[in-house]
Structure 1
Amino acid sequence: MKRITITLDEELLDAIDARVASHGYQGRSEALRDLLRTGLLDSRQHAPQETTTCLATLSWVFDHTTRDLAQHLSRLLHRHHSLVHSTLEVLLDHEHSMSVAVLKGESQSVHALGERIISERGVRHGRLFMVPIDADVEEHRHGDQLEPHTHWRVRDK
């Protein structure tokens, strides 16, 4: 085994220590290995295996005091503007905000953007929720509507 060094804030370290005690681990290393295995397995299970179209929500909490993070995240979203349908930012306190982005596009691209944002330094929590869809390409009108439109059809699992 290899030894690594990581830096954790007190709150996260307290949570790990509580898990060590509640689950009967021999120490922090064993608990962290177990959490890492679970997290890595979970991320592989949620990664798209095929090229499909999806609708997704990406939410993350980030720290405004992390140098240039807000500007960096904004530039990242602008570089992927074809995937971004809508965004919302909620101010939580003097240092933190929660952002939510509704994304639509090719599943692997949406997943890659989500993982990129969630993994940025200063992003405290993040989650990507993807729903496979088929675009209904038949344009139609309802009643007296002037503009034709299409529908996004949710796919069965």
Structure 2
Amino acid sequence: MTVISITLPPDLLNKFETFMETKGYYSRSEAFRDAIRSLITETEIAKAQTENVAATIMVTCDHQRKDIDIKLTELRHEFDDVVIENVHRHIGEKYCLEIFITQGNNNRILTLINRLRGMHGIQQVKSMFLML
């Protein structure tokens, strides 16, 4: 197997280590491989959908990062052809939850998801697709 290295902030590494112990992974490598497989499978399932889909996209981010609100607003406007609803909620004092309800071109929605995943300060992006 090929060896790679990644850089993680300490708090994310601590959470990952706790996750590994809880789920019973025997190594970091195995846990990362499983996470990567899951992400790839999710993307493949999304691409297998028909051209016209509906999807919910849940995004979590740090409440203190006000720059993320600006970036999310810009993305909502850029993708207003597929974003039909958007909900913003504070979860405790530390987190924000954004829920995007989308409908339309599958590739356009996948592009939105990829852009969200690529934003600095976004902690997690989860999506669920429905064929129309």
What TM-score results when the alignment is normalised by the length of structure 1? 0.69
Q: In the aligned structure 2, how far is the partner of 1:126 from the partner of 1:95?
A: 17
Distance 2:54 2:47 in 1: 13
**Which structure has more helix as a fraction of its residues?**
2
Residues 45-74 of structure 1: per-residue CA shift (max 9 Å, x gap): 323246611122111111133361111111
What secondary structure, in the 3-state scheme, does the structure 2 residue paired with 1:82 have?
Answer: coil
Q: % of aligned pairs identical?
A: 19
Structure 1 residue matching 2:47: 3-state secondary structure: coil
Q: Based on CA coordinates, which of the two structures has the bigger radius of gyration?
A: 1
1:2 corresponds in structure 2 to: 3
2:20 aligned residue (16, 19, 25):
16
Runs of 5+ consecutive residues of structure 1 not aligned to the other structure = 134-157
Aligned residues: 128
Q: Is the 8 A contact 1:17 1:28 kept in 2?
A: no
Seen in structure 2, the aligned counterparts of structure 1 residues 44 and 82 have a Cα distance that, compared at 3 Å, is closer
CA 102–50 in structure 1, closer or farther in 2 if over 3 Å, else same:
closer
User: What is the rounded CA distance, in whole Å, between the counterparts of 2:61 and 2:8 in structure 1?
Assistant: 17
Corresponding residue number in structure 2 for 1:151:
none
Q: CA deviation at 1:76?
A: 1.0
The residue correspondences of 1:140-155 to structure 2 (distance < 5 A) are none
Change (3 A) 1:18 1:71: same
Higher relative contact order (CA 8 A, sep 6+): 2
Q: Quick one: structure 1 residues 124 and 47, their matched pair in 2 at CA, closer, same or farther if it must change by over 3 Å?
A: same
1:119–1:6 CA distance, 2 compared to 1 (3 A): same
Q: Could you list the structure 1 runs, at least 4 aligned residues long, displaced by more than 6 angstroms after superposition.
A: none
Q: CA RMSD in A?
A: 2.2
Counterpart amino acid of 2:18? D
Q: Distance in 2 between matches of 1:34 and 1:55?
A: 27
2:34 matched to which residue of 1? 34
The 5 Å alignment of 1:20-99 reads 22-23=24-25, 25=26, 27-40=27-40, 42-49=41-48, 52-66=51-65, 68-99=67-98
Structure 1 match to 2:111: 112
In the alignment, structure 1 residue 121 sits paired with structure 2 residue 84: no
Helix, strand or coil for the counterpart of 1:33?
A: helix
Decide whether aligned partners of structure 1 residues 32 and 74 sit closer, same or farther in structure 2, where only a CA change above 3 A counts: same
